[in-house]
């Protein structure tokens, strides 16, 4: 750890700086399936009559997946892995550009038809990014909002343009760190006008985006725009809808009427969900008995599909106020996406289902019977009015399903500090050996200090290693059944686990260094971790002099389901990559220094610092 001297202390006392954490996410089952709730959906229609349609899903497991849809099934054709927290929303631009946002405070742009490569990452938000909006007839327009109260309007054409070296510097200058995450504030002169809420953008604006700097005082949960990108509406915890002109960033009006958080918004091509000319609510539809979290409309905007916390999906005729219950779910509904005459429904479960919707002729649904008139009451009063006359769902089973795997929801680290007991959403209990990243059937009762922490936020086991505590655990080679080593030889669990995690990287690195030696006739200077002006009090050997790079069986990670590592890179933002995708070309600065010092130089922190 770095030691920073205090300027006001004559005794030159020092204080430790918190080091970067390394995290690896374990995969137990089929990596082509989501293992946590689905937060967002996007459908890409093929321009060809008999072409393949695609469904994009964004999950709380931090990944997006592209599904090739066919009459007899769906195939995962790509996994987009770069976010390090929940994926909260995703939109498609043109025919192949995918934009996503996440609780990692980033907005990412992808080639939607690629094998999952991220084209650009934007870190202007200061907190979770919760929602996106895109204009159908303006391919370069995207808006993003989040818990920091910010709304950014992005010009993707400018944002994705190749940056010169000087512009790279400007972009770095445009981001600052807030609570450990890279966030905005731009290099421009932004002048909020307290009376009109307009903004003026002067000088060298950060390339590709315009912030709305005055408007929301609290979190933004919903955005929507018309198809031409000339109107943007936003809502959140302030219970009001704000209407903006995206071309200038100015607020044109504020709409009041909601009595709770606004979680979903829709606009037709003219913006007539409310009467924007008179700035008033035209109609209020009370069909749900709890919060509404998702909306979708038919192409003509004559009917609206709605779902939410009450596990129900309704179809409502906006003109006649007639509503019908399409289906009931087992989990709260988070997002909806129409696809031909069906509707995809995303919930807090890892599976996504398609239900009949008759979007082009919704009258067919009402002809099945069971409809009722939507009231204009709040859902608390609507719940009372529906008691004793619960609507009967039109459909009992979905027409198509893409199944995920069960998310881990409980875990317990066992006393041997190598095994973790987990329980998933269907009650399945598994025992993990985190030093190999596999599920096992038996475990030992060995007293080992706590050397790692675990969470299940992404629906998988995420194992966190922090120095120097992770190096506190040792076991005898006999207890690990390691052949060829003395029975009383102690093995440091963290060091051997790191060697197993980086085995592929070390092999590829040696191959690259060897090829450079053959080509130049010189031994490259980068084959040993450069000295970091470390003192013996900071890093010492642990008595094991030989730099043994052998990976022992208890620390071999599966190549069939390799874990991903997450750490902080040189650009100040976290990155994630599967251990088998490390090709040896990575900058050593992209890894925590203590990790490389361990695997390359076989050095561990002093023993007194690991307790």
Give the closest residue to 435 by CA, choosing from 553, 548, 550. 553
The angle subtended at Cα 278 by Cα 274 and Cα 284, nearest 5°, is 35
Residue 333 has a pLDDT of 96
For the chain, the C-alpha Rg in angstroms (whole number) is: 27
Residue 192 has a pLDDT of 27
- Residue in this structure with the two tokens 């022992």, named with its chain if needed: 552
Residue 12 has a pLDDT of 57
pTM of the model: 0.74
Model confidence at 337, pLDDT cuts 50, 70, 90, reads very high
Residue 327 has a pLDDT of 94
Distance (Å) of CA 154 to CA 38, 94, 157, 190: 25, 15, 9, 16
Calpha distance 426→429 (Å, rounded): 9
CB 241 within 8 A of CB 274: yes
Distance (Å) of CA 179 to CA 106, 392, 453: 14, 48, 21
Q: Is the pLDDT of residue 572 over 90?
A: no
Calpha distance 146→237 (Å, rounded): 11
CB 470 within 8 A of CB 22: no
- Assigned token pair, 192: 């909020």
Residue 460 has a pLDDT of 93
Residue 585 has a pLDDT of 84
The pair phi, psi for residue 99, each rounded to 5°, is -120, 130
- DSSP 3-state assignment of 505? helix
Model confidence at 523, pLDDT cuts 50, 70, 90, reads very low
CB 246 within 8 A of CB 234: no
More confident residue, 573 or 581: 581
Q: Is the pLDDT of residue 418 over 90?
A: yes
Q: Is the pLDDT of residue 307 over 90?
A: yes
Residue 270 has a pLDDT of 47
Q: Is the pLDDT of residue 142 over 60?
A: yes
- Which segments within 466-539 are labelled E, that is strand? 474-476, 490-492
Mean pLDDT over all residues of the chain?
79
């Amino acid at each position: 750890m770095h030691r920073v001297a205090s300027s006001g202390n004559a005794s030159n006392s020092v204080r430790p700086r918190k080091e970067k954490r390394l995290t690896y996410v374990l995969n137990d089952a089929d990596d082509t399936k989501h293992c946590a709730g689905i937060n967002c959906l996007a459908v890409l229609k093929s321009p060809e009559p008999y072409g393949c349609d695609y469904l994009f899903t964004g999950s709380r497991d931090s990944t997006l997946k592209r599904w090739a849809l066919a009459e007899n099934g769906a195939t995962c054709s790509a996994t987009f892995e770069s976010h390090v927290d929940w994926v909260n929303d995703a939109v498609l631009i043109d025919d192949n550009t995918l934009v996503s946002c996440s609780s990692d405070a980033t907005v990412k742009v992808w080639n939607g038809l690629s094998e999952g490569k991220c084209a650009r990452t934007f870190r202007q938000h200061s907190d979770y990014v919760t929602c996106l909006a895109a204009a159908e007839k303006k391919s370069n327009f995207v808006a993003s909002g989040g818990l920091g109260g910010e709304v950014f309007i992005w010009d993707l054409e400018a944002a994705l343009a190749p940056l010169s070296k000087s512009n790279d510097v400007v972009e770095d200058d445009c981001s600052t760190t807030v609570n450990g995450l890279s966030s905005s504030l731009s290099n421009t002169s932004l002048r909020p006008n307290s009376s009109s809420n307009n903004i003026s953008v002067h000088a060298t604006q950060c390339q590709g985006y315009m912030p709305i700097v005055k408007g929301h005082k609290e979190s933004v949960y919903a955005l929507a725009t018309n198809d031409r990108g000339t109107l943007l509406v936003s809502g959140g915890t302030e219970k009001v809808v704000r209407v903006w002109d995206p071309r200038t960033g100015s607020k044109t009006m504020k709409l009041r009427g909601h009595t709770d958080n606004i979680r979903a918004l829709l606009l037709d091509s003219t913006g007539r969900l409310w009467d924007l000319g008179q700035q008033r609510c035209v109609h209020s539809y009370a069909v749900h008995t709890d919060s509404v979290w998702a909306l979708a409309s038919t192409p003509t905007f004559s009917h609206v599909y709605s779902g939410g916390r009450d596990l129900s999906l309704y179809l409502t005729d906006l003109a006649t106020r007639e509503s019908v219950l399409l289906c009931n779910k087992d989990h709260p509904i988070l997002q909806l996406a129409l696809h031909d005459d069906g509707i995809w429904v995303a919930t807090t479960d890892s599976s996504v289902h398609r239900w009949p919707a008759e979007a082009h002729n919704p009258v067919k649904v009402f002809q099945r019977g069971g409809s009722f008139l939507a009231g204009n009451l709040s859902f608390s009063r609507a719940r009372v009015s529906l008691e004793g006359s619960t609507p009967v769902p039109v459909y009992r089973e979905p027409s198509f399903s893409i199944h995920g795997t069960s998310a881990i929801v409980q875990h317990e680290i066992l006393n041997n500090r190598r095994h973790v007991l987990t329980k998933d959403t269907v009650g399945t209990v598994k025992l993990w050996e985190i030093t190999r990243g596999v599920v096992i059937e038996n475990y030992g009762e060995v007293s080992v200090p706590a050397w790692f922490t675990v969470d299940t936020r992404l629906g998988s086991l995420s194992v966190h290693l922090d120095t120097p505590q992770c190096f506190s655990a040792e076991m005898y080679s006999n207890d690990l059944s390691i052949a060829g080593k003395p029975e009383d030889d102690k093995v440091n669990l963290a060091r051997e686990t790191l060697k197993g995690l980086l085995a592929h990287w070390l092999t590829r690195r040696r191959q690259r260094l060897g090829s450079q030696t053959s080509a130049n006739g010189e031994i490259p200077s980068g084959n040993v971790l450069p000295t970091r002006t470390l003192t013996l009090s900071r890093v010492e050997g642990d008595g094991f002099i030989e730099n043994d790079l052998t990976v022992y069986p208890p620390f071999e990670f599966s190549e069939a389901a390799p874990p991903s590592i997450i750490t902080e890179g040189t650009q100040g933002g976290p990155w994630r990559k599967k251990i088998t995708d490390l090709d040896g070309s990575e900058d050593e600065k992209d890894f925590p220094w203590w990790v490389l010092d361990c695997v390359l130089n076989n050095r561990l922190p002093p023993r007194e610092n690991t307790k």
